[in-house]
Amino acid sequence: MKTFDYVVVGSGLAGLTFALKAAERGSVAIVTKKSRADSNTAWAQGGIACVTSSEDSVSLHVTDTLIAGDGLCNEEVVRTIVSEGPERIAELVSLGMHFDERTGPEGIREPDLAREGGHSKRRILHAKDATGFEIEKTLLEAVAVHPNITVMENHMAVDLITTGKLGYAMQDGCVGLYVLDELSGEVETLRTDVTVLATGGCGRVYQYTTNPSIATGDGVAMAWRAGAAIANMEFMQFHPTCLFHPQAKSFLITEAARGEGGFLVDDRGKRFMGKYDKRHELAPRDIVARAIDAEMKRTGKPCVYLDISHLKAEFIRERFPTIHETCLKLGIDITHQPIPVVPAAHYQCGGVKTDLNGETSLRGLYAVGEAACTGLHGANRLASNSLLEALVMAHRAEAKASRNHHRQGIEVELPEWRPGKVQDVDELVVIYHNWDEIRRLMWDYVGIVRTDKRLQRAAHRLRNLQNEIQEFYWNFKITADLLELRNLATTASLIVDCAMSRKESRGLHFTLDYPGHDDARFLRDTFIRRF
């Protein structure tokens, strides 16, 4: 048994921020299932939404967030995160992060702010179109030299250990976790009074997604199995513009491309967003994604197009170098040609339910970043609010966890992992087949547009799949692939169950059977828990 003051699962912006702050008070282990640089953060192109301009204000940012959230945002949470954002950004800059700047009207250097859908002002801090990558690199450099941080790469969390599972009669709490060393195949036991889930989202539960392969809903699935409350999993955000090309799956075309003046057009080059919203291309993501989906179904075409070729070529190459280079390698010169795009699963607005300090319903367990449901996003996330939330909530969670740390533990010796009489997996094809089936059924039945019948079909098949996967889990030696499959099936089921219980359309949850809002019954979070 290895003991740490804090264990952080995940190595994105939220997890690394928490770890750096907690390391000033005690020992920290960062558990990450691939390399330390593999995270959703590293894939973020757009930037961080934050009030830094005299033309902007906290109240405007709050209002934009509430409008995008379609009635389900917690206004106290929204105002707190937006208000505390500038101070957290300043800390990030002090670590070495550099955001793009421009020369202001008086010759003074100032942030080069971008605008994205749903924002009434330019407030997006960015580093070209690779903001997340630069943030991740900055934080990892700080982590690498901190003596109190142990990074456990190629280690995947298996399950949380709770006092309830150990048979104690006291209030249930998290006291550690089991972790698979993917290189040796051995399972290690980690003891801690503070466990932080910073595992990112679950985009890989869908066939088409902008997320990296690691986004398999691990934190949500583990928290649910341990008895923590889960909320709002029906609100899965589909990014409107993922590159449509057989050689470049999962490549995002940042919303900033529309913020800088890009047009969405059909195969004849005709703009169509005016039919769906007065804000045209700068409407919130749920509206734009549904509009593109409707256009594709109306025309029978496999994609629509994002056209920025009317902008200056030099500006395009300077502002969007990653997108320009990637598309050029595929034979698309975005300075002269429109970009073929389709919607794809992008961000989970629900997750492990927390308060304003990142505390879950399970004592000793915290959740930050995309794995958490804080109340900021409501029924639809406002673009670039996610990195802001990760920064602010990691700071608040660490402050609360450190205040509680020495007062809430119980002296226990955790049992070692007992594998039982299991055998090596001899039919990996079963794992890959089930993985593929989950992603396909979620795309077909629980996508941008839903119906009761589609959800019922998904629920029926997922019940059977969960039984198959559970039998596989208990009879074979665990591997990272098997654990991810188990978590995918659990997360998919949570999404379906939440969606089935919301008999209305709101934000990202749109169902043909209930096309309107029902504030009398559903102006509330959707809660689900195992016990």
In angstroms and rounded to an integer, the radius of gyration of the C-alpha atoms of the chain is: 22
Backbone torsions φ then ψ of 174, nearest 5 degrees? -90, 130
What is the predicted pLDDT for the residue at 408? 47
What is the layout of strands, in order, in the sheet containing 28-31? 149-152, 28-31, 6-9, 195-197, 365-367
What is the predicted pLDDT for the residue at 106? 80
Q: Which of 418, 437, 414 is nearest to 485 (CA)?
A: 437
Q: Which CATH number fits domain 2-151+349-407: 1.10.10.10, 2.40.50.140, 3.30.70.100, 3.50.50.60?
A: 3.50.50.60
Between CA 140 and CA 151, with CA 145 as vertex, the angle to 5 degrees is 60
What is the predicted pLDDT for the residue at 425? 67
> What pTM value is reported for the model?
0.94
Q: Which CATH number fits domain 428-520: 3.90.700.10, 1.20.58.100, 3.30.70.1560, 3.40.50.300?
A: 1.20.58.100
What pLDDT, in 10s, does the model give residues 170-210? 778 999 999 999 999 999 999 999 999 999 999 999 999 99
Are 201 and 40 in contact by the 8 Å Cβ rule? The answer is: yes
Give how far Cα 352 sits from Cα of 15, 165, 183, 196, 379, Å. Answer: 15, 19, 29, 11, 15
What is the predicted pLDDT for the residue at 248? 84
Q: In the chain, where are the structural domains located?
A: 2-151+349-407, 236-346, 428-520
Looking at 204, 258, 285, 290, which residue is catalytic?
285
What pLDDT, in 10s, does the model give residues 375-401? 999 999 999 999 999 999 999 999 999
Average pLDDT per block of 10 residues along the chain, 531 residues long:
96 97 97 88 86 96 97 98 98 96 87 94 94 95 97 97 88 94 96 97 94 95 97 96 90 93 96 96 93 94 96 96 96 97 96 98 97 98 96 98 69 85 73 93 96 98 95 88 96 98 97 97 94 69
Two tokens, residue 267: 């195969």
Query: What's the fold here for domain 236-346?
Result: Flavocytochrome C3; Chain A, domain 1 (3.90.700)
What is the layout of strands, in order, in the sheet containing 230-231? 372-373, 351-353, 230-231, 527-528
Our answer to whether residue 122 is catalytic in this structure is no
Q: Partners of 48 in the beta sheet?
A: 125
What is the predicted pLDDT for the residue at 399? 97
